[in-house]
Chains A and B, each alone.
Chain A
Amino acid sequence: MSASGMKGYLRSDGRKGIRNVVAVAYLVECAHHVSRLIVQKSGADDVHLIGFPGCYPNKYSLEMMERLCTHPNVGAVLLVSLGCEGFNREHLRKVILASGRPVQLLVIQQSGGTTRTLNAGLDIVRRMRAELATQVPVPMALNELVVGTVCGGSDGTSGITANPAVGRCFDWLIENDAACIFEETGELIGCERIMASRAITPALGAEIEACVEKAANYYRIMGYGSFAPGNAEGGLTTLEEKSMGAYSKSGSSPISGLIKPGDVPPRGGLYLLDVVPDGEPRFGFPNISDNAEIVELIACGSHLILFTTGRGSVVGSAISPVIKVCANPDTYDRMADDMDVNAGRILHGAELDDVGREIFDLVQSVAGGALSKSEALGHQEFILTYKQFEPIGPACLPAA
Protein backbone atom coordinates (compact mmCIF):
# COMPACT_ATOMS: atom_id res chain seq x y z
CA MET A 1 0.00 0.00 0.00
CA SER A 2 1.59 3.26 -1.03
CA ALA A 3 0.36 6.77 -0.63
CA SER A 4 -1.24 7.93 -3.82
CA GLY A 5 -1.10 11.62 -4.55
CA MET A 6 -0.78 12.82 -0.98
CA LYS A 7 0.82 16.22 -0.63
CA GLY A 8 1.33 18.67 2.15
CA TYR A 9 2.49 22.16 3.01
CA LEU A 10 5.78 21.87 4.90
CA ARG A 11 5.84 23.76 8.21
CA SER A 12 8.84 24.88 10.24
CA ASP A 13 8.34 22.09 12.81
CA GLY A 14 8.67 19.48 10.05
CA ARG A 15 5.00 18.58 9.96
CA LYS A 16 3.02 18.90 6.73
CA GLY A 17 -0.48 20.25 6.30
CA ILE A 18 -3.01 18.77 3.85
CA ARG A 19 -4.82 22.13 3.75
CA ASN A 20 -3.55 25.72 3.85
CA VAL A 21 -6.18 27.49 5.88
CA VAL A 22 -6.32 31.07 7.13
CA ALA A 23 -7.72 30.80 10.66
CA VAL A 24 -9.66 33.75 12.04
CA ALA A 25 -9.75 33.31 15.81
CA TYR A 26 -11.94 35.25 18.24
CA LEU A 27 -10.51 35.34 21.74
CA VAL A 28 -13.80 35.99 23.56
CA GLU A 29 -17.46 35.69 22.54
CA CYS A 30 -17.59 39.50 22.33
CA ALA A 31 -15.29 39.28 19.29
CA HIS A 32 -17.19 36.38 17.70
CA HIS A 33 -19.53 38.34 15.43
CA VAL A 34 -16.81 40.57 14.01
CA SER A 35 -14.66 37.50 13.35
CA ARG A 36 -17.57 35.70 11.69
CA LEU A 37 -18.22 38.72 9.48
CA ILE A 38 -14.58 38.70 8.37
CA VAL A 39 -14.82 35.01 7.47
CA GLN A 40 -18.16 35.36 5.70
CA LYS A 41 -17.29 38.49 3.76
CA SER A 42 -13.92 37.09 2.70
CA GLY A 43 -16.00 34.76 0.52
CA ALA A 44 -13.28 32.10 0.64
CA ASP A 45 -13.78 28.48 1.70
CA ASP A 46 -10.26 28.31 3.09
CA VAL A 47 -10.83 31.02 5.69
CA HIS A 48 -12.03 29.23 8.82
CA LEU A 49 -13.55 30.55 12.03
CA ILE A 50 -12.27 29.24 15.37
CA GLY A 51 -12.24 30.76 18.84
CA PHE A 52 -12.84 30.62 22.54
CA PRO A 53 -15.92 32.26 24.08
CA GLY A 54 -14.90 32.69 27.72
CA CYS A 55 -13.69 35.93 29.32
CA TYR A 56 -11.84 34.19 32.17
CA PRO A 57 -8.33 32.88 31.50
CA ASN A 58 -7.87 29.10 31.38
CA LYS A 59 -4.63 27.19 30.78
CA TYR A 60 -6.32 24.45 28.74
CA SER A 61 -8.03 26.82 26.32
CA LEU A 62 -4.84 28.85 25.81
CA GLU A 63 -2.87 25.69 25.04
CA MET A 64 -5.60 24.39 22.75
CA MET A 65 -5.61 27.66 20.81
CA GLU A 66 -1.81 27.47 20.53
CA ARG A 67 -2.00 23.94 19.10
CA LEU A 68 -4.86 24.80 16.76
CA CYS A 69 -3.25 28.00 15.44
CA THR A 70 0.01 26.12 14.76
CA HIS A 71 -1.75 23.04 13.34
CA PRO A 72 -0.11 21.89 10.10
CA ASN A 73 -3.34 22.55 8.13
CA VAL A 74 -3.22 26.21 9.20
CA GLY A 75 -1.07 28.54 7.10
CA ALA A 76 -1.81 31.92 8.69
CA VAL A 77 -3.80 33.33 11.61
CA LEU A 78 -5.78 36.48 12.30
CA LEU A 79 -6.51 36.93 16.02
CA VAL A 80 -9.50 39.08 16.95
CA SER A 81 -9.73 40.36 20.52
CA LEU A 82 -12.31 42.69 22.05
CA GLY A 83 -9.61 44.13 24.28
CA CYS A 84 -10.62 43.62 27.89
CA GLU A 85 -10.94 39.80 28.05
CA GLY A 86 -8.61 37.58 30.10
CA PHE A 87 -7.20 35.63 27.15
CA ASN A 88 -3.41 36.05 26.84
CA ARG A 89 -3.48 37.30 23.25
CA GLU A 90 0.15 38.46 23.17
CA HIS A 91 1.39 35.04 24.27
CA LEU A 92 -0.68 33.33 21.58
CA ARG A 93 0.51 35.80 18.95
CA LYS A 94 4.16 35.12 19.86
CA VAL A 95 3.69 31.34 19.72
CA ILE A 96 2.20 31.62 16.24
CA LEU A 97 4.91 34.03 15.12
CA ALA A 98 7.60 31.64 16.39
CA SER A 99 6.07 28.88 14.24
CA GLY A 100 6.92 30.93 11.15
CA ARG A 101 3.30 31.63 10.22
CA PRO A 102 1.97 35.05 9.25
CA VAL A 103 -0.06 36.32 12.22
CA GLN A 104 -1.96 39.53 12.88
CA LEU A 105 -3.82 40.73 15.94
CA LEU A 106 -6.81 43.06 15.82
CA VAL A 107 -8.16 44.52 19.06
CA ILE A 108 -11.67 45.81 18.42
CA GLN A 109 -11.54 48.47 21.14
CA GLN A 110 -8.35 49.85 19.60
CA SER A 111 -9.38 49.45 15.96
CA GLY A 112 -12.45 51.58 16.48
CA GLY A 113 -15.35 49.12 16.54
CA THR A 114 -17.11 46.62 14.29
CA THR A 115 -16.84 48.19 10.85
CA ARG A 116 -13.24 49.36 11.12
CA THR A 117 -12.12 46.01 12.51
CA LEU A 118 -14.03 44.19 9.79
CA ASN A 119 -12.43 46.23 7.04
CA ALA A 120 -8.96 45.83 8.55
CA GLY A 121 -9.58 42.09 8.95
CA LEU A 122 -10.71 41.65 5.36
CA ASP A 123 -7.59 43.43 4.16
CA ILE A 124 -5.35 41.22 6.33
CA VAL A 125 -7.07 38.02 5.21
CA ARG A 126 -6.77 39.04 1.56
CA ARG A 127 -3.01 39.57 1.94
CA MET A 128 -2.56 36.34 3.90
CA ARG A 129 -4.39 34.32 1.24
CA ALA A 130 -2.24 35.85 -1.48
CA GLU A 131 0.88 34.86 0.45
CA LEU A 132 -0.36 31.30 1.07
CA ALA A 133 -1.22 30.93 -2.61
CA THR A 134 2.49 31.14 -3.43
CA GLN A 135 3.34 28.14 -1.21
CA VAL A 136 3.87 24.90 -3.11
CA PRO A 137 2.86 21.61 -1.51
CA VAL A 138 5.40 18.80 -1.42
CA PRO A 139 4.86 15.02 -1.55
CA MET A 140 3.66 13.54 1.72
CA ALA A 141 3.86 9.94 2.94
CA LEU A 142 1.46 7.97 5.12
CA ASN A 143 3.96 7.99 7.99
CA GLU A 144 3.53 11.78 8.15
CA LEU A 145 -0.24 11.53 8.55
CA VAL A 146 -2.25 11.79 11.79
CA VAL A 147 -5.85 10.55 11.60
CA GLY A 148 -8.44 10.85 14.37
CA THR A 149 -11.72 9.02 14.71
CA VAL A 150 -14.92 9.89 16.51
CA CYS A 151 -18.46 8.56 16.48
CA GLY A 152 -21.62 10.62 16.71
CA GLY A 153 -25.22 9.50 16.70
CA SER A 154 -24.31 5.86 17.23
CA ASP A 155 -26.97 3.20 16.83
CA GLY A 156 -27.23 -0.58 16.81
CA THR A 157 -25.48 -0.77 13.44
CA SER A 158 -22.43 1.35 14.36
CA GLY A 159 -20.50 -1.40 16.13
CA ILE A 160 -21.21 -3.89 13.34
CA THR A 161 -20.44 -1.88 10.20
CA ALA A 162 -18.84 1.59 10.26
CA ASN A 163 -16.77 1.27 13.44
CA PRO A 164 -15.04 -2.03 12.65
CA ALA A 165 -14.52 -0.80 9.05
CA VAL A 166 -12.71 2.27 10.41
CA GLY A 167 -10.79 -0.16 12.64
CA ARG A 168 -9.56 -2.02 9.53
CA CYS A 169 -8.54 1.28 7.95
CA PHE A 170 -6.69 2.18 11.16
CA ASP A 171 -4.84 -1.15 11.10
CA TRP A 172 -3.63 -0.48 7.56
CA LEU A 173 -2.69 3.13 8.29
CA ILE A 174 -0.67 1.97 11.30
CA GLU A 175 1.03 -0.75 9.22
CA ASN A 176 2.23 2.21 7.14
CA ASP A 177 3.44 4.07 10.26
CA ALA A 178 0.68 6.65 10.34
CA ALA A 179 -0.47 7.87 13.76
CA CYS A 180 -4.10 7.09 14.56
CA ILE A 181 -6.06 8.48 17.52
CA PHE A 182 -9.29 7.21 19.05
CA GLU A 183 -10.91 8.91 21.99
CA GLU A 184 -13.72 9.62 24.41
CA THR A 185 -12.89 7.42 27.36
CA GLY A 186 -16.43 8.05 28.62
CA GLU A 187 -17.59 6.02 25.63
CA LEU A 188 -15.11 3.24 26.37
CA ILE A 189 -16.53 2.46 29.80
CA GLY A 190 -16.80 -1.31 29.98
CA CYS A 191 -13.90 -1.90 27.55
CA GLU A 192 -11.12 -0.91 29.93
CA ARG A 193 -9.73 -4.38 30.62
CA ILE A 194 -9.70 -5.54 26.99
CA MET A 195 -8.20 -2.22 25.99
CA ALA A 196 -5.50 -2.32 28.68
CA SER A 197 -4.44 -5.76 27.45
CA ARG A 198 -3.54 -4.18 24.08
CA ALA A 199 -1.15 -1.62 25.62
CA ILE A 200 2.51 -2.02 24.63
CA THR A 201 3.56 -1.99 28.31
CA PRO A 202 1.74 -3.11 31.48
CA ALA A 203 2.27 0.34 33.00
CA LEU A 204 0.50 1.94 30.02
CA GLY A 205 -2.30 -0.62 30.45
CA ALA A 206 -2.71 0.48 34.07
CA GLU A 207 -2.88 4.13 32.97
CA ILE A 208 -5.59 3.24 30.43
CA GLU A 209 -7.69 1.44 33.06
CA ALA A 210 -7.26 4.38 35.44
CA CYS A 211 -8.36 6.92 32.84
CA VAL A 212 -11.53 4.97 32.04
CA GLU A 213 -12.28 4.75 35.77
CA LYS A 214 -11.79 8.52 35.96
CA ALA A 215 -14.29 8.91 33.11
CA ALA A 216 -16.84 6.64 34.80
CA ASN A 217 -16.60 8.63 38.04
CA TYR A 218 -16.84 11.93 36.20
CA TYR A 219 -19.95 10.97 34.26
CA ARG A 220 -21.54 9.47 37.37
CA ILE A 221 -21.19 12.83 39.12
CA MET A 222 -22.61 14.59 36.05
CA GLY A 223 -25.63 12.27 36.32
CA TYR A 224 -25.59 11.32 32.66
CA GLY A 225 -23.43 8.84 30.81
CA SER A 226 -22.34 9.62 27.26
CA PHE A 227 -25.57 8.16 25.96
CA ALA A 228 -28.14 10.15 24.03
CA PRO A 229 -31.82 9.34 23.51
CA GLY A 230 -31.11 8.74 19.81
CA ASN A 231 -28.67 5.98 20.73
CA ALA A 232 -31.57 4.12 22.37
CA GLU A 233 -33.95 4.83 19.50
CA GLY A 234 -31.35 3.20 17.26
CA GLY A 235 -31.28 0.03 19.33
CA LEU A 236 -28.50 0.66 21.83
CA THR A 237 -29.56 0.05 25.44
CA THR A 238 -26.59 0.59 27.73
CA LEU A 239 -23.47 2.72 27.89
CA GLU A 240 -21.23 -0.35 27.89
CA GLU A 241 -22.99 -1.67 24.80
CA LYS A 242 -22.37 1.64 23.04
CA SER A 243 -18.77 1.44 24.27
CA MET A 244 -18.13 -1.99 22.79
CA GLY A 245 -19.33 -0.70 19.44
CA ALA A 246 -17.27 2.50 19.69
CA TYR A 247 -14.20 0.57 20.77
CA SER A 248 -14.09 -1.34 17.49
CA LYS A 249 -13.03 1.89 15.72
CA SER A 250 -9.61 1.29 17.26
CA GLY A 251 -8.97 -1.80 15.12
CA SER A 252 -6.59 -4.46 16.37
CA SER A 253 -3.19 -2.72 16.58
CA PRO A 254 -1.31 -2.50 19.87
CA ILE A 255 -1.97 0.72 21.80
CA SER A 256 1.24 2.80 21.76
CA GLY A 257 0.23 5.61 24.07
CA LEU A 258 -2.32 7.51 26.11
CA ILE A 259 -2.40 11.22 25.28
CA LYS A 260 -4.38 14.27 26.40
CA PRO A 261 -5.82 17.12 24.28
CA GLY A 262 -2.98 18.97 22.56
CA ASP A 263 -0.44 16.14 22.83
CA VAL A 264 0.84 15.22 19.37
CA PRO A 265 1.70 11.52 18.86
CA PRO A 266 5.52 11.28 18.76
CA ARG A 267 5.54 8.58 16.06
CA GLY A 268 3.24 6.24 14.14
CA GLY A 269 0.96 3.87 15.99
CA LEU A 270 -2.38 3.78 17.79
CA TYR A 271 -3.09 6.32 20.55
CA LEU A 272 -5.97 6.71 22.98
CA LEU A 273 -6.94 10.33 23.68
CA ASP A 274 -8.13 10.94 27.26
CA VAL A 275 -10.67 13.75 26.92
CA VAL A 276 -12.08 13.66 30.46
CA PRO A 277 -10.75 16.50 32.66
CA ASP A 278 -8.54 15.79 35.66
CA GLY A 279 -9.43 16.72 39.22
CA GLU A 280 -12.86 17.40 40.67
CA PRO A 281 -15.52 18.06 38.02
CA ARG A 282 -15.49 21.83 37.64
CA PHE A 283 -16.66 23.05 34.24
CA GLY A 284 -19.46 20.60 33.45
CA PHE A 285 -19.64 17.79 30.93
CA PRO A 286 -16.28 16.70 29.51
CA ASN A 287 -17.30 17.33 25.91
CA ILE A 288 -20.66 18.93 25.37
CA SER A 289 -21.05 17.71 21.78
CA ASP A 290 -19.24 15.82 19.02
CA ASN A 291 -17.40 18.88 17.70
CA ALA A 292 -15.70 19.45 21.06
CA GLU A 293 -14.13 16.01 20.62
CA ILE A 294 -13.19 16.73 17.01
CA VAL A 295 -11.48 19.98 18.05
CA GLU A 296 -9.39 18.06 20.60
CA LEU A 297 -8.42 15.43 18.02
CA ILE A 298 -7.33 18.26 15.72
CA ALA A 299 -5.35 19.90 18.54
CA CYS A 300 -3.45 16.59 18.74
CA GLY A 301 -2.40 17.14 15.14
CA SER A 302 -5.08 15.14 13.29
CA HIS A 303 -4.97 16.05 9.61
CA LEU A 304 -8.39 14.59 9.04
CA ILE A 305 -11.17 12.95 11.01
CA LEU A 306 -13.06 9.72 10.35
CA PHE A 307 -16.55 10.30 11.76
CA THR A 308 -18.83 7.28 12.04
CA THR A 309 -22.56 7.76 12.45
CA GLY A 310 -25.61 5.53 12.63
CA ARG A 311 -28.45 7.98 13.26
CA GLY A 312 -26.87 10.46 10.84
CA SER A 313 -24.69 13.48 11.63
CA VAL A 314 -23.98 16.29 9.21
CA VAL A 315 -21.15 18.12 10.99
CA GLY A 316 -17.71 18.90 9.64
CA SER A 317 -15.01 20.98 11.27
CA ALA A 318 -12.82 24.00 10.93
CA ILE A 319 -9.13 23.26 10.13
CA SER A 320 -9.32 19.52 9.31
CA PRO A 321 -11.61 17.70 6.85
CA VAL A 322 -14.18 15.30 8.30
CA ILE A 323 -14.99 12.09 6.41
CA LYS A 324 -18.42 10.64 7.20
CA VAL A 325 -18.73 6.87 7.44
CA CYS A 326 -22.41 5.94 7.70
CA ALA A 327 -23.15 2.75 9.63
CA ASN A 328 -26.84 2.42 8.93
CA PRO A 329 -28.00 1.67 5.36
CA ASP A 330 -31.42 3.31 5.93
CA THR A 331 -29.76 6.48 7.25
CA TYR A 332 -27.47 6.46 4.23
CA ASP A 333 -30.46 6.35 1.89
CA ARG A 334 -32.00 9.34 3.69
CA MET A 335 -28.81 11.42 4.01
CA ALA A 336 -26.52 10.25 1.19
CA ASP A 337 -25.52 13.82 0.29
CA ASP A 338 -23.78 14.14 3.65
CA MET A 339 -22.13 10.71 3.72
CA ASP A 340 -18.77 9.82 2.18
CA VAL A 341 -18.96 6.06 2.79
CA ASN A 342 -21.95 3.71 2.98
CA ALA A 343 -20.66 1.18 5.52
CA GLY A 344 -24.25 0.04 6.07
CA ARG A 345 -23.96 -1.99 2.90
CA ILE A 346 -22.12 -4.54 5.04
CA LEU A 347 -25.59 -5.47 6.34
CA HIS A 348 -26.62 -6.09 2.73
CA GLY A 349 -23.77 -8.50 2.11
CA ALA A 350 -20.70 -6.33 1.41
CA GLU A 351 -17.41 -7.39 2.97
CA LEU A 352 -16.01 -5.45 5.91
CA ASP A 353 -12.55 -5.43 4.32
CA ASP A 354 -13.88 -3.84 1.14
CA VAL A 355 -15.47 -1.01 3.09
CA GLY A 356 -12.29 -0.64 5.16
CA ARG A 357 -10.34 -0.39 1.92
CA GLU A 358 -12.69 2.29 0.58
CA ILE A 359 -12.09 4.36 3.74
CA PHE A 360 -8.32 3.80 3.49
CA ASP A 361 -8.32 5.00 -0.12
CA LEU A 362 -10.54 7.96 0.73
CA VAL A 363 -8.20 9.06 3.52
CA GLN A 364 -5.43 9.29 0.93
CA SER A 365 -7.50 11.12 -1.68
CA VAL A 366 -8.80 13.66 0.86
CA ALA A 367 -5.24 14.10 2.10
CA GLY A 368 -4.35 14.70 -1.56
CA GLY A 369 -6.80 17.58 -1.78
CA ALA A 370 -10.16 16.00 -2.65
CA LEU A 371 -12.98 17.56 -0.63
CA SER A 372 -14.95 15.43 1.81
CA LYS A 373 -18.75 15.78 1.67
CA SER A 374 -18.99 17.91 4.81
CA GLU A 375 -16.13 20.06 3.58
CA ALA A 376 -17.78 20.65 0.19
CA LEU A 377 -21.05 21.53 1.96
CA GLY A 378 -19.23 24.22 3.95
CA HIS A 379 -19.46 22.58 7.36
CA GLN A 380 -16.82 24.21 9.56
CA GLU A 381 -18.25 23.67 13.05
CA PHE A 382 -16.03 24.54 15.98
CA ILE A 383 -16.47 24.58 19.75
CA LEU A 384 -14.00 25.02 22.59
CA THR A 385 -14.99 25.27 26.25
CA TYR A 386 -13.35 25.39 29.68
CA LYS A 387 -11.49 22.30 30.92
CA GLN A 388 -8.55 21.39 33.10
CA PHE A 389 -5.89 18.72 32.65
CA GLU A 390 -2.74 17.56 34.34
CA PRO A 391 0.14 16.55 32.03
CA ILE A 392 0.30 12.85 31.09
CA GLY A 393 2.40 10.58 33.30
CA PRO A 394 5.72 9.02 32.22
CA ALA A 395 4.10 5.61 31.58
CA CYS A 396 1.67 7.07 29.01
CA LEU A 397 4.14 7.29 26.14
CA PRO A 398 6.56 4.36 26.40
CA ALA A 399 9.63 4.58 24.15
CA ALA A 400 9.09 2.70 20.91
Chain B
Amino acid sequence: MTQGGGQISARDANGKLPPLLLLHPDDNIVVARRDIIAGERVELDGESFVIPAAVELGHKLARRALEADARVLKYGAPIGSMKVAVARGEHVHLHNLRSDYIPSTSRELGPSTNTDHDGHR
Protein backbone atom coordinates (compact mmCIF):
# COMPACT_ATOMS: atom_id res chain seq x y z
CA MET B 1 0.00 0.00 0.00
CA THR B 2 1.04 3.55 -0.40
CA GLN B 3 -0.23 6.99 0.35
CA GLY B 4 2.08 9.44 -1.26
CA GLY B 5 2.15 13.03 -0.20
CA GLY B 6 3.71 13.49 -3.61
CA GLN B 7 0.61 12.25 -5.40
CA ILE B 8 -1.74 14.17 -3.16
CA SER B 9 0.09 17.46 -3.50
CA ALA B 10 0.61 17.02 -7.28
CA ARG B 11 -0.94 19.82 -9.31
CA ASP B 12 -2.41 19.66 -12.80
CA ALA B 13 -1.14 21.45 -15.93
CA ASN B 14 -2.90 24.64 -14.79
CA GLY B 15 -1.22 24.54 -11.38
CA LYS B 16 -4.44 23.49 -9.66
CA LEU B 17 -5.05 20.65 -7.24
CA PRO B 18 -7.35 18.17 -9.02
CA PRO B 19 -10.62 17.56 -7.12
CA LEU B 20 -10.34 13.77 -7.43
CA LEU B 21 -7.54 11.85 -5.74
CA LEU B 22 -6.24 8.56 -7.08
CA LEU B 23 -4.52 6.98 -4.07
CA HIS B 24 -3.00 3.97 -5.85
CA PRO B 25 -2.65 3.08 -9.55
CA ASP B 26 -4.61 -0.16 -9.09
CA ASP B 27 -7.61 1.56 -7.48
CA ASN B 28 -11.02 1.53 -9.15
CA ILE B 29 -12.34 4.37 -6.97
CA VAL B 30 -11.12 7.92 -6.43
CA VAL B 31 -11.61 10.19 -3.39
CA ALA B 32 -13.06 13.70 -3.38
CA ARG B 33 -10.41 16.15 -2.19
CA ARG B 34 -13.13 18.71 -1.49
CA ASP B 35 -16.90 18.96 -1.74
CA ILE B 36 -17.93 18.51 -5.37
CA ILE B 37 -21.27 19.84 -6.66
CA ALA B 38 -23.63 18.02 -9.03
CA GLY B 39 -22.85 18.87 -12.63
CA GLU B 40 -19.25 19.88 -11.95
CA ARG B 41 -16.90 18.96 -14.79
CA VAL B 42 -13.80 17.08 -13.70
CA GLU B 43 -10.81 15.40 -15.28
CA LEU B 44 -10.09 11.76 -14.58
CA ASP B 45 -7.54 9.54 -16.32
CA GLY B 46 -7.17 12.17 -19.02
CA GLU B 47 -10.89 12.36 -19.81
CA SER B 48 -13.33 15.08 -18.92
CA PHE B 49 -16.79 14.22 -17.61
CA VAL B 50 -19.62 15.56 -15.45
CA ILE B 51 -20.20 14.46 -11.85
CA PRO B 52 -23.86 13.30 -11.67
CA ALA B 53 -24.58 14.02 -7.97
CA ALA B 54 -22.94 16.07 -5.22
CA VAL B 55 -20.16 14.32 -3.30
CA GLU B 56 -18.64 15.49 -0.02
CA LEU B 57 -14.98 15.71 0.93
CA GLY B 58 -13.51 12.29 1.69
CA HIS B 59 -16.21 10.32 -0.15
CA LYS B 60 -15.54 7.89 -3.01
CA LEU B 61 -16.52 7.90 -6.68
CA ALA B 62 -16.22 5.10 -9.23
CA ARG B 63 -13.11 5.61 -11.35
CA ARG B 64 -14.70 3.51 -14.06
CA ALA B 65 -17.91 1.51 -14.53
CA LEU B 66 -18.06 -1.25 -11.89
CA GLU B 67 -20.05 -4.50 -12.13
CA ALA B 68 -22.07 -5.97 -9.26
CA ASP B 69 -19.78 -8.08 -6.99
CA ALA B 70 -16.68 -6.26 -8.27
CA ARG B 71 -13.94 -6.00 -5.64
CA VAL B 72 -13.39 -2.34 -4.82
CA LEU B 73 -9.75 -1.31 -4.43
CA LYS B 74 -8.56 1.70 -2.38
CA TYR B 75 -4.91 2.26 -1.39
CA GLY B 76 -4.39 -0.72 -3.76
CA ALA B 77 -6.19 -2.99 -1.26
CA PRO B 78 -9.70 -4.52 -1.30
CA ILE B 79 -12.21 -2.58 0.82
CA GLY B 80 -15.39 -4.53 -0.08
CA SER B 81 -17.56 -5.62 -3.00
CA MET B 82 -20.17 -3.80 -5.07
CA LYS B 83 -23.79 -4.73 -4.33
CA VAL B 84 -24.93 -3.32 -7.69
CA ALA B 85 -23.31 -2.02 -10.84
CA VAL B 86 -22.39 1.69 -11.04
CA ALA B 87 -21.27 4.03 -13.80
CA ARG B 88 -18.09 6.08 -13.78
CA GLY B 89 -18.28 9.05 -11.45
CA GLU B 90 -21.09 7.65 -9.32
CA HIS B 91 -20.90 7.93 -5.55
CA VAL B 92 -19.67 4.65 -4.04
CA HIS B 93 -20.94 4.26 -0.45
CA LEU B 94 -23.22 2.31 1.89
CA HIS B 95 -26.02 2.06 -0.71
CA ASN B 96 -23.93 0.14 -3.23
CA LEU B 97 -20.78 -1.18 -1.49
CA ARG B 98 -20.72 -3.93 1.15
CA SER B 99 -18.04 -5.11 3.56
CA ASP B 100 -16.45 -8.49 2.95
CA TYR B 101 -15.92 -8.74 6.71
CA ILE B 102 -18.37 -7.20 9.19
CA PRO B 103 -21.35 -5.00 8.25
CA SER B 104 -21.18 -1.27 8.84
CA THR B 105 -23.83 0.35 11.00
CA SER B 106 -26.03 3.41 10.96
CA ARG B 107 -27.91 5.10 13.81
CA GLU B 108 -31.29 4.25 12.27
CA LEU B 109 -30.83 0.68 11.17
CA GLY B 110 -28.26 -0.89 13.46
CA PRO B 111 -26.05 -3.56 11.96
CA SER B 112 -26.35 -5.37 8.66
CA THR B 113 -26.98 -2.40 6.42
CA ASN B 114 -24.25 -3.14 3.95
CA THR B 115 -23.33 -6.76 3.92
CA ASP B 116 -24.83 -10.07 2.93
CA HIS B 117 -27.40 -11.08 5.54
CA ASP B 118 -25.14 -13.70 7.10
CA GLY B 119 -22.27 -11.25 7.49
CA HIS B 120 -19.70 -13.73 6.23
CA ARG B 121 -16.96 -13.18 3.70
> CB distance B80 to A238 under 8 Å?
yes
* Nearest CB on A from B9, distance (A): 5
Residue among A234, A240, A353 with max Cβ neighbours from chain B (10 Å): A240
A115 at the interface (CB under 8 A from B): no
Residues of chain A contacted by B8 (CB below 8 angstroms): 160-161, 346-347, 352
Let me know if B1 and A238 touch, CB within 8 A. Answer: no
Which residues of chain B are within 8 angstroms of A235 by Cβ–Cβ distance?
Answer: 31-32, 56-60, 93
Q: Given A194-B1, A240-B80, A156–B57 Cβ distance below 8 Å?
A: yes
With contacts A189-B102, A225-B102 taken as known, whether A244 is within 8 angstroms of B79 at the C-beta atoms is yes
Interface residues on A, range: 35 or more
Establish whether residues B119 and A238, one from each chain, have CB atoms under 8 Å apart when the complex forms: no
Interface size on B, residues (CB 8 A): 43
B89 within 8 A of A: no
A-B contact count (CB 8 A): 139
Measured in the bound complex, the distance between the Cα atoms of B3 and A161 in whole Å is 9
Chain A's nearest CB lies how many Å from the CB of B74? 6
Chain A CB within 8 A of B23 CB? yes
> What 1/0 flags go to A226-269 for Cβ under 8 Å of B?
01110110111111110011011000000000000000000000
- A313-339 interface (Cβ within 8 A of B): 328-330
- Residues in B with CB closer than 8 Å to A156 are 31-32, 57-60
A220 with B119: in contact, given A234-B58, A240-B79 (CB under 8 Å)?
yes
B94: interface (CB < 8 Å): yes
Kindly list chain A residues whose C-beta atoms are within 8 Å of the C-beta of B57.
156-157, 235, 328-330, 347
Return chain A residues, CB-CB under 8 Å to B11. Answer: 349
Segment at the A interface, from B37-45, B46-54, B62-70, B106-114: B106-114
- Interface status of A75 (Cβ within 8 A of chain B): no
Q: Which residues of A lie under 8 Å from residue B1 when comparing CB positions?
A: 194, 244, 247-248
**Best-buried of B75, B100, B102, B107 by chain A (most CB within 10 Å):** B102
Q: Does A310 contact B (CB under 8 A)?
A: yes
Interface set of A (CB-CB < 8 Å, partner B): 155-157, 159-161, 164, 189-191, 194, 216, 219-220, 223-225, 227-229, 231-232, 234-241, 244-245, 247-248, 310, 328-330, 346-353, 355
**5 new A-B contacts at CB < 8 Å, known A220-B102, A235-B56:** A156-B60, A191-B77, A216-B101, A232-B94, A352-B5
Give the interface of B toward A (CB within 8 A): 1, 3-6, 8-9, 11, 17, 21, 23, 31-34, 56-60, 74-75, 77-80, 92-94, 97-107, 111, 114, 119
16 A-B pairs within 8 Å (CB atoms) are namely A156-B58, A157-B58, A159-B3, A220-B119, A232-B104, A236-B58, A238-B79, A238-B100, A244-B74, A248-B3, A248-B75, A328-B57, A346-B5, A348-B17, A352-B9, A353-B5
